[in-house]
Structure 1
Amino acid sequence: MTDFSRRHFFKTATLPIGGLAGLATTAGAAPAPTPAAATVAVPDDLLALHWLDGAAPALPLGATLGLPWPRGQHRKDQPFHALDAKGSPLPLQTWPLAYWPDGSLKWTAHALPAGVDTGAQPRIRPGKGPGTGGARATVREEADFVEVDTGVIRARLPRQGAQLIHSILRDGREVLGSCTLVAQTDDKPDAEQGPVTQTAFQSRIAKLSVEQAGPVRAVVKVDGQHRSAAGREWLPFSVRLYFYAGAESLRVMHSFVFDGDDQKDFLRGIGLRFDVPLRDELYDRHVRFAGEAGGLWAEGVRNLTGLRREPGAAVREAQLAGRASPPLAQWGAQVRKLQHRIPAWGDYTLSQLSADGFQIKKRTKPGHGWIPAAFGKRAPGSGYIGGATGGVAFGLRDFWQRHPTQLDIRNAHTDAAQVTLWMHAPEAPAMDLRFYHDGLGMETHEQELEGLEITYEDYEKGFGTPVGIARSSEITLWALAATPSRERLVQMAAAVQTPPQLAAHPARYLQAGVFGKLWSLPDRSTPTRVQIEDRLDFLFDFYKKEVEQRHWYGFWDYGDIRHTYDSDRHEWRYDVGGYAWDNSELSPDLWLWYAYLRSGRADIFRFAEAMVRHTSEVDIYHAGRFQGLGTRHNVQHWGCSAKQARISTSAYRRFYYYLTADERVGDVMREVLNADEKMDAVDPVRKIAGRVDKGPWPARIGFGTDWGSVVANVLTEWERTGDKRWRDKLLRGMKGIAAMPHGFFTGSGGYEPTGPNEGAFHNVSGDKLSASHLSAVFGAVEVMAELVELIDEPAFKQAWLQYCELYNAPKDQQAKALGAPHGGGTVLSVGHSRLSAYAARQKQDKALAQRAWREFLADDPRGVKTLKTTRIAGPLALNPVDEAPWISTNDTAQWGLAAIQNLALIGDQLTD
């Protein structure tokens, strides 16, 4: 992109701001951001890092982050070193994530060990640093197993069989053993249809791979399927085990794919199970469950408090604190003599079956009744079982948010307790993934169009299948030498729910030039800029609150948002066809990630993180007929018949991957790399009358939602690998579009997804003009801006600039340039104002920049979009809610992206 100073770009231009009425703050507007949500200040040293959620973590468990580097600055083999906030050296492990076209480093990943105090602002610098001591993560590979040693714990991982982990030793003693995956299914959704048969499944390893072998971070990936006693194998899984030098914990990233029959396979429970050897006396065994607001439920397997006879204050205090009890000789005589008559409680369950309620219950052993023990609202999903000589703490992230979930401890009164972390609770009803209606008589294409006309649902029989959707979950396990203090367990629970994340400052990402030049840092230097920034903040804060007040939680749902509001019902249109779940429609993912990049706000990052976890798993097919494609918005995430690359595109996932080096998201981006091979079998416009046929070529592909999505996939793979194959595939497509009679306004072309000419376009529409209001709003604007920077192809750049300038242009200007208006209409003209701004910046065209701001500021001609919400209470709604009926997710995402990009591109032209 042409780069020129903000000080002189259009510095003499003025622009009337007549359309700002819709931005004005009114009475009842949202308050200013709290300090925790405030924009991160620009540091003096751009190499300084910060902990995303505030101070350095109380429990350093090891950390991984991605860092950007300007083009041409560092060669591939550049070494790096780390320093804590005081300048002392830290152990560091580094690997590349992405490269610039010249082969220099674009993104690097870095890992820091556990148990070290980095301070609030550690630094990672280029160059070799001084040597560092401390623990190292080492990996030993044998024919039948792999052994990982962090310097504190040693784990043995079998290469085959059912066990993900055979054992974890600490100080030579086994603390955790026989870790497997388990699942339970019902053959019917409920007993109304007859007796229900339940089947149990256990993991079966197919492959074990060592992905990293230290010295700071070791990663082992285990792939397999779940197998029943009768031999059925299904529910493929992928589990990564993360070990950091100096750690007493390990992180588990669990992913599974639903590949069953949604009419017969009703998944009730899926979880991780392991054994905990117990050597202490029953009264020295401790059970813990984390509660709300730092609370803790803490008891002994054999409780010594509340008895009729007094054991002694020192005995009671020791058990409550989780320490070994004093010798029996120091106990009260009656308790010492009769302690075997005190019940020993062997089984415990914490179940979170909704977002607002959990229960703890316990029993002595199977065959005897459960006793209600405690209740609460939202459990953080962590617990502990063990004693004075060792035990295991465990936690499942997003526990209450992804209800129904469950934690089980069994046989705590025996030599080995069994713990199961249920990612879906077996105490809840089984999953029912069947499509939600019977087709409503839609058998022909004409009837399907009628359904689309009334409910906006793109229905096609057999397409609303869940086969191939996935879900990933994060688990943390600690192998401990003794029962931790209550305060430390609370810290562990907090670390599970919000894993500490290191990050660079926004100015660092901007200076490096990654993710294009379509964003800038927040600037509130003028009243107009303040109004735009206020609306950006208001919109995010509104959706953040909506997640809570609308309870957008649940195993398959958490992380997504709704599409369109129903002001009559004072509810989002959760049950109306294509107006329900959003499924990345019109790029809310991009809006959130650019909002985070420019602000550094932790709450925006966490919101976007939950969304990428959802959209990259549930909204994409990872197996089956539609593998590599995503599903358009619907009442069910997988319900719509529009299976498209515009939903599965890497454009929405690459931010999180590069910022965190997350391997699971990296896997997903590789899964969608060949999505263009499905363009013929699952043609996105197969139902549209008058579409251009593919001609003699393997597929027909559109230049916007289709090819723009493919570009993001291929571009990401090119920068991740440096393989010129992917550059050449991009270049063939660029040349093909540039050669079309009307460039991007040709609409679509014949396409070769594979073969020696992969990526090539061919004209199959002659001189026909075609444009769609959707072509540029699924990441195409952002990815094309990067593409023209990375690959110098002047004719393609000119074709893209033509599209940007003419899309929102008056019809007479379109006709003059193209021979006729392009036909794309004026829908989403505000979102398309950023195309006009891009062309203005590239051409340094003052008049075009003025037009772009007029397009943007025409957003609210009726002046209804005031930055406030209205309280709805009483019989009008089930619960009191604060609503803003003018807000829709489509408009929010596109307005937000236009605001961010217009400020960056033509901000100098915005005057008061």
Structure 2
Amino acid sequence: MPISRRRFVQSTALASCAALAISPGALLAQGARSRTQALRWLDGSPPPAQDGVTCGAAWPQGALPARTSFAAIAASGDAVPMQSWVTARWPDGTVKWTAHAFPGGSGDPATLTIAPGRPAAPAEPVRAVVRGDAIEISNGPVVWTVGRSGQAIIRSARRGDAEVLRDVGLTASSQSEAEAELGEGTPLTRFDGMIQSAEIEQGGPVRVTIRVSGVHQGAGREWLPFTLRLYFHAGSPAVRIVHSFVFDGDAATDFIRGLGLTGQVPLRGATYDRHVRFAGSNDGIWAEAVRPLTGLRRDPGAAFRQAQVAGQATPPLEQMGDSVRENLQFIPEWGDFTLSQPNADGFTIVKRTKAGHGWIDVDGGERARGLGYVGSPSGGVAFGQGDFWQRCPVRLDIRDAHTDSATFRLWYHAPDAPAMDLRFYHDGLGMESYVDQNRGLDVTYEDYEPGYGSPTGIARTTEFTLWALPATPSAERLAQMAHNLATPARLMPEPAALHAAGLFGDWSPVDRSTPAKAEIEDQNHFLLTFYRDQVEQRRWYGFWSYGDWMHSYDRDRHVWKYDIGGFAWANSELSPDLWLWYSYLRSGDAATFRLAEAMTRHTGEVDCYHLGPWKGLGTRHGVQHWADSSKQPRVSTAAYRRIYYYLTADERTGDLLREALAGDEALTRVDIGRKVGARPGGVIAAGTGATVRSNPRAGEVEMSFGTSWCSLAAAWLTEWERTGDTRWRDRIVAGMTTIAALPKGWFAGGANYDLATGRFTGPGDEVSMSHLNAVFGAVEVNSELLSLLDVPAYRRTWLDYCVAYNASDEEFQAMTGARRRGRNLGQGHSRLTAYAARQLGDAALAQRAWSEFYDADAGLRMDVAGSQRQLHGPAVLRPVDEVANVSTNGASQWGLAAIQNLALIGDQLGTLTPVLPPRR
């Protein structure tokens, strides 16, 4: 049914009360207020043992007062030790999100329930105190000392009187030329991490968190700033380390060769009682001794052989067979060991007796789990890195195990790999002017500009774990540790509980109750599985790249367009991050969570700038993650990070959310629309999401409503929730109020924005539509904002936009006074129509939304799975699956539309029978 402007305005006014009645807050006020929260293990059952878990929990508005304390109870009724803190509050001050830390250990219950109450204390609390120039952490039998200055981040770990670990620090090396241009003997420069500050963020009793920051120093230079957090959980001999560094060098002269975490392990006793271990693929453990007693020509005795293989103390030496005991000095001592994973498909192990002697090939496999150990029956250290083979090239080293002090090194970029070459990948191809750059954009979709393809300011986060152990663990225990390293144990709220709390806008748990719903659910599952498999089949791995996906597919070459401008790495284009997170929220699926986690770790670090002129902005999609010249808040938006932060309470992600607060100020350094007018007719460069030029005054910037303002509002909303600081709420309201006051409201696309006040100043008197304005989190952010803030005028202008975007030409002109243009992605925008239908109680709009969703000409068909085929033989490098018409843009927007339409107007779906057009 056509929607006249008059009818729309009347419907908006009459439905305002109804809209409030269906908002999340109102729904919860009608009786869904829960005061308990059930937690489940992400992978379905508790691990045999774990080293401490932290998770988030969500609470409906009004359910819990601000100062609530929490207790955890197992299904048996037993109290479980827990440490809790609030991570977000509702506008009324009641608790919205909490974080909960649990001790390490074994025998965890299958489920836990959190409720208001007095928390149980751990049997041996973990505590942190400052002692002069160090921080001391006491955790059961282990006492850790963390430095507040100098190179040693962990100065020591002691068990009683015995020191088992010391001098843990960071190391890096670089060279001044790229590998292809090197001559023999080109020198490397070494840099060591130097602490600038260290502070206790949490002091126990279940979890202690220490934050350390510093830089790498060497050759009279300071660079590669880092921050890391050390996490100690009661009941665990481990420390988990979340380490982030920023590349602040020059890509033309700074070629990183090695990045590592290194430490010393004091060793005591005979070398035949010293053990070396590496975890291989699956549950495999490679286990040997520094001086082997097996395989000798003469037998030392079964008790000696069996003890050494098991990693246990051998019997007294006098019980050893004379022929071996009297000739021990002739059995080589193997002091140096290396496990190297240069790529995602294979690792090797080598060893040698000591420096200056040849390496011996030992063994190899496909994908190592990233765990090593060196020690003896009187103590040792296990060390490991998460996402080990996925972040190749990586390496584990053990050196000098035959001496009184072994060295271990976790190389998160291996020093024997080719130097890290971050230079821009082409010479500019003559694109000096904006006109030529727009011509290049037309052919390769790359928005190139000299000097903008710089990696200076990008970052990477890596997770390490160190265990200070009383003795060499059994092979079975090491396999458990390696499994937990590769697949960390996690507790999570149930999807139903998250939904009942009214969080993150419009979504609902997976529902296959009708054939039409089941068909949509099946296709969403198919697409998620397809992308999970593409990560593996296309080898989307590597130090900088793991976590990202490709943008578009080349059907002729049967590859993703890895080398074609803006069609290569997606860099969050059209919100695959949100598609993954909303898919996880509604399903609780572990594989989806880990896809989303890897993407969040990548896009928040590598695709964004953390220092320099583009700090606070991210980079549009391209052949290199930093290559495109379009630097925008739409990539650095907090909308892509906040779900992970609240589910996990990850402090590093919390840092990134705060970095995004100043994204509007970054626009004073980058004019997003600078190329507008550089082609005939002043057409906006496709894909930039820029707005019409409007000559801002001093203290103002041009800002689009969706790709910029909504992206920034996600950070302001999160900071308001986290801190209760109403300045951020007021900044959001200022933007909402002044957008609504513009003559064309949301239809203006953007306007001049005053940085001091957060207000839009105009002109906003022309319709300027961009298909990108609503597809970088704007739909999701607006749904949340309108459930939390009462700004009726903004609500009306947003609903105007939602109704009109996919309306007919006549309806659009009647509502806006302008001709319809600048609109595509109709399928993805069906969720705007659905939102308006729900808010206005309009069944005709709901039917229109489903028609838009099923329109294959505007997006994906409903039989995507039927077009999948496997390619093999000489046409491809390896067997791969291909769905030629799927792009990351299309899949992400289809997935988000499916999820939100089901939540908003799923009850209207049964009346519509989709008709699929014939395949072209």
Coarse TM-score class (shorter-chain normalised): over 0.9
Q: Does 1:447 align with 2:429?
A: no
Q: Does 1:115 align with 2:105?
A: yes
User: Structure 2 matches for 1:14-33, cutoff 5 A?
Assistant: none
Separation in structure 2 between the aligned mates of residue 80 and residue 804 of structure 1, nearest angstrom = 41
Shift in Å at residue 193 of structure 1? Answer: 4.2
Match of 1:855 in 2: 852
Q: Deviations over 1:460-518 (max 9, x none)?
A: 000000000110100111100000000000000001111100001000000001112x1
The DSSP-based 3-state class of the residue aligned with 2:291 is: coil
User: Structure 2 matches for 1:416-565, cutoff 5 A?
Assistant: 416-516=405-505, 518-565=506-553
Separation in structure 1 between the aligned mates of residue 742 and residue 243 of structure 2, nearest angstrom = 46
Match of 1:623 in 2: 611
Match of 1:634 in 2: 622
Is the contact between residue 552 and residue 888 of structure 2 (CA under 8 Å) also seen in structure 1? yes
Shift in Å at residue 54 of structure 1? Answer: 1.9
Separation in structure 2 between the aligned mates of residue 462 and residue 206 of structure 1, nearest angstrom = 31
Match of 1:839 in 2: 836
Q: Deviations over 1:576-603 (max 9, x none)?
A: 0000000000000000000000001011
User: Structure 2 matches for 1:814-893, cutoff 5 A?
Assistant: 814-825=812-823, 827-859=824-856, 865-868=863-866, 869-893=868-892
Question: What RMSD, in angstroms, separates the aligned Cα atoms of the two structures?
Answer: 1.7
Is the contact between residue 220 and residue 240 of structure 1 (CA under 8 Å) also seen in structure 2? yes
Match of 1:662 in 2: 650
User: Structure 2 matches for 1:256-295, cutoff 5 A?
Assistant: 256-295=245-284
User: Structure 2 matches for 1:484-883, cutoff 5 A?
Assistant: 484-516=473-505, 518-689=506-677, 690=682, 691-697=692-698, 698-753=700-755, 755=756, 757=757, 759-765=758-764, 767-825=765-823, 827-859=824-856, 865-868=863-866, 869-883=868-882
377-386 or 85-94, larger mean C-alpha shift: 85-94
Shift in Å at residue 821 of structure 1? Answer: 2.7
User: Structure 2 matches for 1:53-68, cutoff 5 A?
Assistant: 53-68=43-58
Separation in structure 2 between the aligned mates of residue 251 and residue 464 of structure 1, nearest angstrom = 34
Match of 1:18 in 2: none
Shift in Å at residue 3 of structure 1? Answer: 4.0
User: Residues 711 and 905 from structure 1, CA distance in 2 versus in 1: closer, same or farther, beyond 3 angstroms?
Assistant: same
138-147 or 389-398, larger mean C-alpha shift: 138-147
Separation in structure 2 between the aligned mates of residue 866 and residue 151 of structure 1, nearest angstrom = 55
Is the contact between residue 290 and residue 402 of structure 2 (CA under 8 Å) also seen in structure 1? yes
Shift in Å at residue 126 of structure 1? Answer: 1.4
The DSSP-based 3-state class of the residue aligned with 1:829 is: coil
User: Structure 2 matches for 1:36-51, cutoff 5 A?
Assistant: 47-51=37-41
Q: TM-score, normalising length from structure 1?
A: 0.94
Q: Does 1:139 align with 2:128?
A: yes
Is the contact between residue 769 and residue 822 of structure 1 (CA under 8 Å) also seen in structure 2? no
User: Structure 2 matches for 1:410-421, cutoff 5 A?
Assistant: 410-421=399-410
User: Structure 2 matches for 1:77-92, cutoff 5 A?
Assistant: 77-92=67-82
899-908 or 525-534, larger mean C-alpha shift: 525-534
Amino acid across the alignment from 1:902: N
Is the contact between residue 46 and residue 507 of structure 1 (CA under 8 Å) also seen in structure 2? no
Is the contact between residue 451 and residue 458 of structure 1 (CA under 8 Å) also seen in structure 2? yes
Q: Deviations over 1:168-222 (max 9, x none)?
A: 0112311100111000111111263445220011011111111000111100011
Shift in Å at residue 726 of structure 1? Answer: 0.3
Q: Deviations over 1:671-701 (max 9, x none)?
A: 1110111223212222122432243252111
Is the contact between residue 695 and residue 764 of structure 1 (CA under 8 Å) also seen in structure 2? no
Amino acid across the alignment from 1:714: W
Is the contact between residue 865 and residue 886 of structure 1 (CA under 8 Å) also seen in structure 2? no
Separation in structure 2 between the aligned mates of residue 172 and residue 810 of structure 1, nearest angstrom = 79
Amino acid across the alignment from 2:203: A
Is the contact between residue 257 and residue 470 of structure 1 (CA under 8 Å) also seen in structure 2? yes
Amino acid across the alignment from 2:707: T
Separation in structure 2 between the aligned mates of residue 821 and residue 186 of structure 1, nearest angstrom = 58
The DSSP-based 3-state class of the residue aligned with 1:714 is: helix
Shift in Å at residue 542 of structure 1? Answer: 0.3
Separation in structure 2 between the aligned mates of residue 125 and residue 864 of structure 1, nearest angstrom = 43
Separation in structure 1 between the aligned mates of residue 133 and residue 793 of structure 2, nearest angstrom = 57
Is the contact between residue 854 and residue 862 of structure 2 (CA under 8 Å) also seen in structure 1? no
Identity among equivalent positions (%) equals 54
Amino acid across the alignment from 1:788: L
The DSSP-based 3-state class of the residue aligned with 2:304 is: helix
Match of 1:13 in 2: none
Separation in structure 2 between the aligned mates of residue 680 and residue 709 of structure 1, nearest angstrom = 16
Separation in structure 2 between the aligned mates of residue 677 and residue 132 of structure 1, nearest angstrom = 46
Is the contact between residue 751 and residue 760 of structure 1 (CA under 8 Å) also seen in structure 2? yes
Match of 1:15 in 2: none
Shift in Å at residue 782 of structure 1? Answer: 0.2
Out of 10, 16, 20, the residue aligned to residue 2 of structure 1 is 20
Match of 1:222 in 2: 212
Match of 2:199 in 1: 209
Is the contact between residue 770 and residue 822 of structure 1 (CA under 8 Å) also seen in structure 2? no
Shift in Å at residue 116 of structure 1? Answer: 5.3
Separation in structure 1 between the aligned mates of residue 196 and residue 171 of structure 2, nearest angstrom = 16
Is the contact between residue 745 and residue 769 of structure 1 (CA under 8 Å) also seen in structure 2? yes
187-196 or 321-330, larger mean C-alpha shift: 187-196
Q: Does 1:101 align with 2:91?
A: yes
Structure number with greater CO (CA < 8 Å, separation at least 6) is 1
Separation in structure 2 between the aligned mates of residue 85 and residue 496 of structure 1, nearest angstrom = 27
User: Residues 785 and 597 from structure 1, CA distance in 2 versus in 1: closer, same or farther, beyond 3 angstroms?
Assistant: same
Separation in structure 2 between the aligned mates of residue 895 and residue 706 of structure 1, nearest angstrom = 22
The DSSP-based 3-state class of the residue aligned with 2:191 is: strand
676-685 or 772-781, larger mean C-alpha shift: 676-685
Is the contact between residue 694 and residue 749 of structure 1 (CA under 8 Å) also seen in structure 2? no
Separation in structure 1 between the aligned mates of residue 266 and residue 746 of structure 2, nearest angstrom = 66
User: Residues 193 and 60 from structure 1, CA distance in 2 versus in 1: closer, same or farther, beyond 3 angstroms?
Assistant: closer
The DSSP-based 3-state class of the residue aligned with 2:881 is: strand
Is the contact between residue 125 and residue 139 of structure 2 (CA under 8 Å) also seen in structure 1? yes
User: Residues 657 and 891 from structure 1, CA distance in 2 versus in 1: closer, same or farther, beyond 3 angstroms?
Assistant: same
Separation in structure 1 between the aligned mates of residue 194 and residue 223 of structure 2, nearest angstrom = 10
Is the contact between residue 680 and residue 700 of structure 1 (CA under 8 Å) also seen in structure 2? no
Separation in structure 2 between the aligned mates of residue 437 and residue 157 of structure 1, nearest angstrom = 45
Is the contact between residue 384 and residue 393 of structure 1 (CA under 8 Å) also seen in structure 2? yes
Amino acid across the alignment from 2:432: E
Segments of structure 2 that go 5 or more residues without pairing to the other structure are 1-18, 683-691, 912-920
Separation in structure 2 between the aligned mates of residue 286 and residue 193 of structure 1, nearest angstrom = 39
Separation in structure 2 between the aligned mates of residue 116 and residue 133 of structure 1, nearest angstrom = 14
The DSSP-based 3-state class of the residue aligned with 1:762 is: strand
Match of 1:307 in 2: 296
Q: TM-score, normalising length from structure 2?
A: 0.93
Q: Deviations over 1:66-91 (max 9, x none)?
A: 11100111111101101123110111
Amino acid across the alignment from 2:512: R
